């Protein structure tokens, strides 16, 4: 069996590359000139992007007494977060006992729940996100990927609580030392050794 030459391989490759173009052009008839197709010009107008339809509003059940009480404890209004992010929390306009969290062009409907630790949990009714409010800050979490979306979100009421705690520490240094002793390892560093 003879081996193909370099020239033969190159000719086969060129023919293979030209086959798709040859298959698309109709064969020319004898005596008829092929008509050139007009080239489509790009329109000066940019195409209008269609905005996706908003997701359907979740079906909300009537809130029970604990949920209504938890909704009353939520700090309503604007929050300043780390990296100059902002979050706005408001009561749901249609169903009592639910909270809307607005962040980055999205509004998340949440169900408030009091935890056993005293923190307020705002649980996304779709199960995607969670906002936790404690005395000195709030944070927004993505529960699907297990990541914080926002941290150090502070409402003006939380700022007041932070200032009051600082004032209490200044006013009672013994309480500060007792708190450090409870939270420390019980080892007091000694200078000079």
Q: Which domains does the chain have, with CATH numbers?
A: 65-157 (2.40.128)
Mean of pLDDT values over 23-45: 60
Going by pLDDT thresholds of 50, 70 and 90, the confidence category of residue 165 is confident
Which tens digit of pLDDT belongs to each residue from 107-140?
999 999 999 898 999 999 999 999 999 988 999 9
Mean of pLDDT values over 44-49: 66
Locate all alpha helices (DSSP H) within 63-172, ordered by sequence. 65-73, 156-171
Residue that is written with structure tokens 């003879």 in the block: 2
Residue 1 has pLDDT above 90, yes or no: no
Assess contact for 77 and 155: CB atoms under 8 A.
yes
What is the CB neighbour count within 10 angstroms for residue 108? 21
pTM of the model: 0.61
Rounded-to-integer distance, Cα 102 and Cα 99, Å: 10
**Phi-psi category of 84—alpha, beta or left, where left has phi over 0 and alpha has psi -120 to 50?**
left
Assess contact for 154 and 84: CB atoms under 8 A.
no
């Amino acid at each position: 069996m003879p081996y193909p030459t370099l020239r033969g391989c190159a000719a086969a490759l060129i023919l293979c590359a030209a086959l798709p173009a040859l298959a698309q052009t109709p064969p020319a008839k004898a005596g008829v000139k092929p008509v050139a197709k007009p080239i489509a010009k790009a329109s000066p107008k940019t195409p209008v992007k269609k905005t996706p339809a908003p997701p359907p509003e979740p079906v909300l059940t009537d809130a029970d007494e604990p949920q209504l009480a938890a909704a009353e404890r939520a700090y309503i209004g604007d929050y300043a977060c780390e990296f100059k992010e902002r979050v706005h929390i408001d009561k749901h306009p249609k169903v009592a006992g639910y909270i809307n969290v607005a962040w980055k062009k999205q509004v998340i409907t949440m169900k408030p729940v009091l935890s056993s630790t005293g923190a307020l949990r705002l649980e996304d009714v779709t199960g995607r996100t969670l906002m936790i409010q404690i005395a000195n800050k709030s944070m927004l979490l993505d529960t699907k990927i297990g990541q914080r979306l926002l941290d150090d979100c502070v409402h003006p009421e939380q700022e007041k609580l932070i200032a009051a705690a600082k004032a209490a520490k200044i006013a009672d240094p013994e309480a500060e030392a007792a708190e450090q002793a409870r939270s420390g390892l019980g080892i007091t560093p000694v200078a000079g050794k």
